[in-house]
Each structure stands twice: as structure tokens, then as C-alpha cells.
Amino acid sequence: MTVNTVKFFAVGAAAMLSACVSYEPEESIVGDYLSARMAARANDAGSAADAYGDAFSVVPASVDILRDAFFYSLVAGDIDEAMGYAAQLSKREDAGDDGLSVLALAARAIKQGDYAGVEKLLDDHTIAGYLTPTANIIRAWAIDGRKGPEAALASLRETAGNEYKGFYPIHQALLSDKAGDIEEARSAYQMSVMANGGAVEVASYGAFLERQKEESEAREFYGLLADKPGFARIPAEAGIARLDEGRAAPSVTSQTPAIGAAKAYFSLANGVLQQTVNQRVAAEEAGFRVPNANYNMPLAMTQLALYLDPGFDDARRLAGSIFNVYGKNENAIAVLSKIAPSSPYYAQSQIDIAGALNALERNEEAISVLKDVARRSGSTDARLALAGMYSSEERHEEAVATLTGLIAESENSPSTEDWRNYLARAASLLLLDEWPRAEADLKKAVELAPEEPAALNYLGYSWVERGENLEEAFTLIEKAVSLQPDSGAIIDSLGWAHYQQGNYQEAVNNLEHAASLEPGDPTVVDHLGDVYWRLGRKIEAQYQWRHVLELDPNDKLKAAVEEKLQHGLDDGDGSANDH
């Protein structure tokens, strides 16, 4: 949402000169505007909304500020405020709106049961192309509320095109299911899982199979996902538990127009989020400097989904995750705390809350949260997070004990995902100077995940550090590089392996590349300093070592670097630091 500065001041001046309009000094208006811009850049949606609102109250002629006040109110979750601004935008001929405000007003209408009002809003306003599929799905759910699922399906068929991609099938499936057309529903559910395969699609198709009394098919479907990473695993695990306990699946009649529309907003949020993440990854891989993450549009759509369906815990999880990414940890805690212990998403919400508490340096509270959820749910993820928290607090004995309990549960029949548990335990064992046990865990991690770069790199690097099995270590690290060629940490390992063998010219090429990819990693920077020293580039070496001290290294690395800054590296010295 960009404000045209020249237009802003022109409109602001006209408004202030008009009769019967009270106004604050110009400095205050400019201050509100600049405060709003700064808050928006810092991803502080609440402060941005307040500041834009203050500016708009002084210059109500500015449609640019009105749009921003609406958007940031929506992002912040202040729905009532956002709806007020959206209503004003919908009445202005100069709104220049892409239709987002109309979609917000449609959400309010559908929540109020004004289904005819939804259709009128969508008919009377222009909707931008990227929002059109969502608008058409919302229209269908409004028609479902007014005329039933058959009429809603007819509307979807009229408007469905290539632009629907992953959005359309889940809504076709739910409406067909409501209409009693089981075979069309089955086909659409399957298509939705193939096209998108998110938690909503997995939960919906699995519940359909359960309702059709196809228990073996449901178990097979859930089983395919229960051991895989990603959030689709959560409803899969919940489905298995429901089958084990003999509980009924949710009824399709619970898919009200409001809940169906909530899924449409959430689909858009996920689509935009994935596109944004992909663009950031592509830019980073191309070597461009990537600005701070901006997930405001997905967050705005997620807020509308929660407005329509406050029990939509997958949406609540996403909102909390975005707030945590933004560093708005208190907001994340507030959103995530509304997920009930009975929810399949409870364990994940508590893990995210613990992460927020840790970011706020409330570490003991974070550990308490993780211990409690691990006790309540037995969640593997919660116990792994707890071990990680212990490790970050240098409580490595407790980390090892936690991971040992986790590993024991699947030791006789470990899954491929269990490599993470062995790798995490090895990391703590190394810091406890228990190399034989750590080496055994690292080998087990590689055995379970022979194509996992992190496992390959950790074992290879550990051998290099100890001067053991160097030929095999090189093989492991080079394979890790081939699997993840843009990882600064792995390329650093390759460079350090060459360094340990005295191949300094080969090492410096790798280590400079690694430092360009990971300029904030103190270990990588330290390694670069070491190889510069070996090549006789001592001023550059000292520069890199001083830079290490600016990067908040651990105590062991800090002491080693301070020693090198005083005395340099003697012949044959290595660098005793962690990777």
C-alpha cells in the first residue's frame, strides 16, 4: 500500500484550507504519516493502523491514507475498524481499490447471514484478477446459504477456470458432499489433495472417507502423511486417533457458508504466502539482497478467515507463525493461546508459544510450556523442541536425557524422520565431550537419512575436526554440497576439510564463498580468518577475527579468537571452534 507523497500533501493542504474543518498543525499530520510508514516497514501493523487512522482523521480526502488505514487495521486483526474503513472505500469513486475492501465487506455480510448482500457487493464492484477466484468461491458459498449446495455448485462451474488451480477442488468437494453427490465429492476431494495437499484438504478428504465407513482406506491415507514433515501431518495424526477411539468424523453439514468462505480466504492466504516465500528463495539463490519478510497480505486474509471461523485452528497457527516471524511475539502468544488443549493443533501452538517466550528471553517459561505439552500429549515435536531449548541454555545433560527417551520409543523400528533425534542428541553429546556416543548417533542419522545434507555434513565435519576418516569425510561433505549447493555451512565444512589437510588455496575459495553466503555466522568468519593467516594475509585474518567478536560467538569461540588476535596461529595450530 504505497502513498503518493505529492498527492498526500496536495490533498492534505486542500482539506486544511476548507471551511469548517478543524485540523492539527501540519507537523502533526506529517508525524502521523511518517510514524505509519516506519511502523509498516517494521511490520508493526497495529501501530501503522493507529497512525494511518490518525492521519486520515485529519485529511479524510486522502484515499491513499484511507486504503492504508483499512489494510493495516485488517492485518492487525482489528476487524471492526477495518470494516469501517472498507465501507468508506466502497463508496468512493476514486478508491482505486483492487477489491480487497469488497472481500472484507463480503466476509461481514456472510457472517451476518446476508447472502444476497454478498452477491450484490461482488456484482457492483470490480475485483482484481488475483482476487477473482476467491471472490467467485465466496459467491458460491453465499449462494449455498440462499439456495443450497446444488445452486452453489452451478455457480462454481460457471466461473471456474485455469486460475483456480489448487483453490477450486476443495470447495467443489465440500459442496458436492453437502449435496449428496458422493462420487463427484470423492473425485474432487482427491483432486484437492493432489493439487494442494494442505492440512485443510487432508482433514476434509480423510473425514469424507470416515463418513463413508471406508476405515481401511482412511487409515492408509492418514498413514501416508502421519510420518511426513509439514502441517498436513497434524490432521492425519488426529484422524488416526479418532479411528482408534471410535469417534465419529465431523459432519459435512457443519460446513456452513461462513466456514466455507473462511477456507476460501485461507486458501488465498496460503497461495500468496507460498508465492512470496518462493520469490524470496529465488532472489536469495540469485544473489540478490532480500529485504525483511513481508507477509501482510497472507496475514490479512488469515484474519478474515478467523473472523468467519474463530475455531479455525490451522489459520490461527499461521497467524501466530507470521507474528513470530515479525518479532511480534506478544501478538503471537495472544493468538495461539486461544487454541484449546482438545485441538489437534494444540501441541504445535504450544511449541510456537515457547518459541515466542524464548525470543522474549522468558526462557524458563518457555521450558515450562514445552515440558507441560510434552507431558500432556507425548508430542514428538514438543520433546524435540524441549531438547533444543535445553541445548540453547547449555543444559546438555537434560537435552540428552530428553532425546534418549524419545529415541527409545522407536529404537527397534525407527522411521526415516528419526534422524533428527539422533543428530540433535549427537550435538549435545559433542558439547559434553562424549565423542564415541556422538559418533554412533551421527552414523545412525546418516544411515536413516543417507540423502539428508545436514546429517552428511555433521558427520563429515566432525571427522574432519578430529582428523579421522578424512577420505570418507570428504565424500560425505561433497555429497552434502551436491545436495545443497547454496548452504554456506556445508561449503564451510568443505573448505575446513581442505584447511585441515593443509590445502589452503583450495580452502580459501570455499571459505570465501561460505562467508558470502553466511556473513553473520561467527564460525564461518573465524575459519576464513584462519585460512587468511595461513596464506600470509595476516591483516585480513585479524580483520575477520575482530569481526567474529561482533557476531556474538559462544564463550569457547570467543576465547579462541581473542587468543588468536593476541598471538596469531603458530605453525601447525588448528582452530578449536564449533560448527
pLDDT in tens, the chain (579 residues): 433 333 322 333 333 223 333 334 455 666 777 887 887 888 889 999 999 999 999 888 899 999 999 999 999 999 999 999 999 999 888 878 789 999 999 999 999 999 999 999 999 998 998 899 999 999 999 999 999 999 999 999 888 765 455 688 999 999 999 999 999 999 999 999 988 778 999 999 999 999 999 999 999 999 988 877 788 999 999 999 999 999 999 998 889 999 999 999 999 998 888 888 887 777 666 666 667 778 999 999 999 999 999 999 999 999 999 999 999 999 999 999 999 999 999 999 999 999 999 999 999 999 999 999 999 888 888 999 999 999 988 899 999 999 999 999 988 888 888 899 999 999 999 999 999 999 999 999 999 999 999 999 999 999 998 989 988 999 999 999 999 998 999 999 999 999 988 999 999 999 999 999 999 999 999 999 999 999 999 999 999 999 999 998 888 899 999 999 999 998 654 443 444
- Rg value, the chain, Cα: 28
| Three cell numbers written together for 33 | 504519516
Backbone φ and ψ for 498, nearest 5 degrees, come out as -65, -40
Contact 203, 235 (CB under 8 A): yes
What integer pLDDT is reported at residue 290 of this predicted model? 66
DSSP-based helix, strand, coil % in the chain, nearest 5:
75, 0, 25
197-223 burial code (b ≥16 CB/10 A, e <16): ebbbbbbbbbbbbbbeeeeeebbebbe
Contact 101, 85 (CB under 8 A): yes
Burial (CB < 10 A; 0-12, 13-18, 19+), residue 267, is buried
- What are the pLDDT digits (tens) for 242-298? 999 999 999 988 899 999 999 999 999 988 888 888 877 776 666 666 677 789 999
Number of residues in the chain: 579
- Amino acid code (one letter) for 463: W
What integer pLDDT is reported at residue 17 of this predicted model? 28
What integer pLDDT is reported at residue 396 of this predicted model? 95
What does each C-alpha distance from 343 to 199, 332, 339, 347, 370 come to in angstroms?
A: 14, 17, 7, 8, 16
331-347 burial code (b ≥16 CB/10 A, e <16): bbbbbbeebeeebbbbb
- What are the pLDDT digits (tens) for 69-94? 999 999 999 999 999 999 999 988 88
Separation of alpha carbons 469 and 411, rounded Å = 27
Q: Which residues contact 117 (CB under 8 A, 6 or more apart)?
A: 109
Largest separation between any pair of C-alpha atoms in the chain: 85
| Three cell numbers written together for 575 | 582452530
What does each C-alpha distance from 169 to 161, 231, 243, 455 come to in angstroms?
A: 11, 20, 25, 38
Q: Which residues contact 46 (CB under 8 A, 6 or more apart)?
A: 39, 72, 76, 78, 331
What does each C-alpha distance from 89 to 71, 93, 109, 250 come to in angstroms?
A: 11, 8, 16, 39
Q: Which residue has the cell 531438547?
A: 387
**Which of 162, 105, 109 lies closest to 133, judged by CA?**
162
How many other CB atoms are there within 10 angstroms of residue 428's CB atom? Answer: 25
Separation of alpha carbons 189 and 208, rounded Å = 8
- Amino acid code (one letter) for 73: S
What does each C-alpha distance from 326 to 299, 338, 352, 551, 574 come to in angstroms?
A: 11, 20, 13, 21, 40
What integer pLDDT is reported at residue 27 of this predicted model? 53
Separation of alpha carbons 119 and 152, rounded Å = 12
How many other CB atoms are there within 10 angstroms of residue 187's CB atom? Answer: 15
| Three cell numbers written together for 278 | 518462493
How many other CB atoms are there within 10 angstroms of residue 290's CB atom? Answer: 12
Q: Which residues contact 76 (CB under 8 A, 6 or more apart)?
A: 45, 46, 48, 49, 303
What integer pLDDT is reported at residue 575 of this predicted model? 43
What integer pLDDT is reported at residue 571 of this predicted model? 66
3-state SS of 387-400? HHHHHHCCCHHHHH
- Amino acid code (one letter) for 7: K
Separation of alpha carbons 458 and 172, rounded Å = 47
Separation of alpha carbons 162 and 65, rounded Å = 35
Angle at the Cα of 112 (from 107 to 117), degrees rounded to 5? 70
